Structure 1
Amino acid sequence: MIDILYVEDEASLALIVADSLEMNGFSVRHCQDGQVALRLFEKQKPDILLIDVMMPVMDGFTLATHIRALDSQVPIIFLTARVQTEDVVKGFHLGANDYVKKPFRIEELVVRIESLVKSSPKMQLSQNLMIGDYVLDSLRQTLSYKGESIKLSYRESELLRSLYENRNQVIPREDIMKTYWSYDKYFSGRSLDVFISRIRKYLNQDPRIKISNIRGIGYMLSVEELL
């Protein structure tokens, strides 16, 4: 799951944007000023930062300067109503990867986030996972078997990755639903069973791979070792 550090001092806007991003499958940590954001960044190392420019205590441009001194590669997107050319140029000179002008559509922001994170060095280094005879490419969201690939949805790719990275351990149903469908009131436990069944079907050509339903608890992926 993509981990976002979102820095915005306007509380009502922040609530709407954070909720919308979580509904799209992201993990969002929000704070209201640059000084707090800098401490969170040093502690938690997010995959991407969304930064408002005009904030109290420490503005977005100053925060970006500090971030770039610590990390030259983490993607930074400025979200701001400051649309003057000189502000946009300054933002890019400080190391921003993108500059989104308020007001914006969540759909546009989601696409920009996914594009930047997937092309970041961190993701490039860890995009492929061998799951039995399958290859999961979480960057391109594809699952390959003996040269043939299928396209996965973002949630399918991330959930399969999480199951594999926590293989032989049970992931509680509640954790899965909170992580990938956090505020979707229409998504139920029965819907999750159907979703897991679809992932099992994708993996059915390698009999060593098993996704077990631990009744009343959650799901566990295991891969039988070759003898």
Structure 2
Amino acid sequence: MSKTKVLLVEDDPNLGEILKEYLGVKGFEVTLCRDGEEGWNKYKKDYFQVCILDVMMPKKDGFTLGKEIRKVEDNIPIIYLTAKNLKEDVIQGFRIGADDYITKPFSMEELLMRISAILRRTQNQGEKAALKTYTFGAFVLHYDKQQLEGPEGVHKLTSKENELLRLLAASINETVSRSFALKQIWGDDSYFNARSMDVYLSKIRKLLKADSGVQIITLHGEGFKLVSN
């Protein structure tokens, strides 16, 4: 059974190493970063199932990092660590989308219990999503992970790229109308949303160049089609 992958971003070197070692012993695969910028760079390159973010950090604070992660991945559990016990900080953390909030000092057992509780909640929600993989040509779209696996490796997708590619992959070799795609993903088919979708389609096309047998065809006046030979 694969280990749960945890992104731990903590600027206190002693606490960071203690947490990494403790969670490692408990069966987690932990990546430790020392500041928000390093945490963001690691997040973009790998797949994580839980994020534990210190609030007060150099270069990029935990709230800013949490916002950036939420823009890419809506459902990944985020736990904030803070030395403060201010009501305003707690409210801000949950407003950003925190799943939990723990104040220093805390026991390792308490943190473990909170992680376990969050994973139990999200596991049930993600059981169906975990089955959502789409194969076309040399590519595999892992919809639940927001990842596209192909000849050049694994690429992490944004939420919009992920939704748009899944919509096309679910109707492989069939036309998806422009209006339908816009309403499904953006909520309406306004001019500005249409321009936004064109940008995302352009990005996806670049990712698919690694397999010449896979392409997105534009059918003027109709929509788009993901074609796989």
Query: Which residue matches 2:17?
Result: 15
- Please show how residues 1-227 of structure 1 align to structure 2 within 5 Å: 1-120=3-122, 124-125=126-127
Contact 1:117 1:123 in 2 (8 A): no
SS at match of 2:71: helix
Q: Distance in 1 between matches of 2:41 and 2:16?
A: 19
Report the residue type matching 2:21 in the other structure.
Answer: D
Q: Distance in 2 between matches of 1:59 and 1:42?
A: 17
Report the residue type matching 2:69 in the other structure.
Answer: I
What 5-or-longer segments of structure 1 have no aligned partner?
A: 130-227
What 5-or-longer segments of structure 2 have no aligned partner?
A: 132-229
Q: Distance in 1 between matches of 2:30 and 2:128?
A: 21
Residues 1:72 and 1:128: Cα distance change in structure 2 (over 3 Å):
closer
Q: Distance in 2 between matches of 1:105 and 1:120?
A: 23
Higher relative contact order structure (alpha carbons within 8 Å, sequence separation ≥ 6): 1
Report the residue type matching 1:18 in the other structure.
Answer: K
Quote how far apart the aligned CAs of 1:90 are: 0.3
SS at match of 2:98: coil
SS at match of 1:82: coil
Report the residue type matching 2:100 in the other structure.
Answer: D
Report the residue type matching 1:7 in the other structure.
Answer: V
Q: Distance in 2 between matches of 1:122 and 1:5?
A: 21
Residues 1:21 and 1:86: Cα distance change in structure 2 (over 3 Å):
same
Quote how far apart the aligned CAs of 1:121 are: 5.5
Q: Distance in 2 between matches of 1:36 and 1:56?
A: 10
Contact 1:76 1:98 in 2 (8 A): yes
Residues 1:128 and 1:29: Cα distance change in structure 2 (over 3 Å):
closer
* Total equivalences in the alignment: 129
Query: Which residue matches 1:133?
Result: none
Quote how far apart the aligned CAs of 1:123 are: 6.8
Q: Distance in 1 between matches of 2:130 and 2:61?
A: 37
Quote how far apart the aligned CAs of 1:118 are: 2.5
SS at match of 1:5: strand
Q: Moved runs in structure 1, 4+ residues, more than 4 A? A: 126-129
Q: State percent identity of aligned pairs.
A: 39
Q: Distance in 1 between matches of 2:86 and 2:72?
A: 28
| CA RMSD after TM alignment | 2.1
Report the residue type matching 1:88 in the other structure.
Answer: V
Query: Which residue matches 2:135?
Result: none
Contact 1:118 1:124 in 2 (8 A): no
Deviation track 1:112-162 (CA, whole Å, cap 9, x = no partner) reads 111112222587327999xxxxxxxxxxxxxxxxxxxxxxxxxxxxxxxxx
Report the residue type matching 1:5 in the other structure.
Answer: L
Quote how far apart the aligned CAs of 1:17 are: 1.1
Residues 1:68 and 1:75: Cα distance change in structure 2 (over 3 Å):
same
Q: Distance in 2 between matches of 1:128 and 1:69?
A: 20
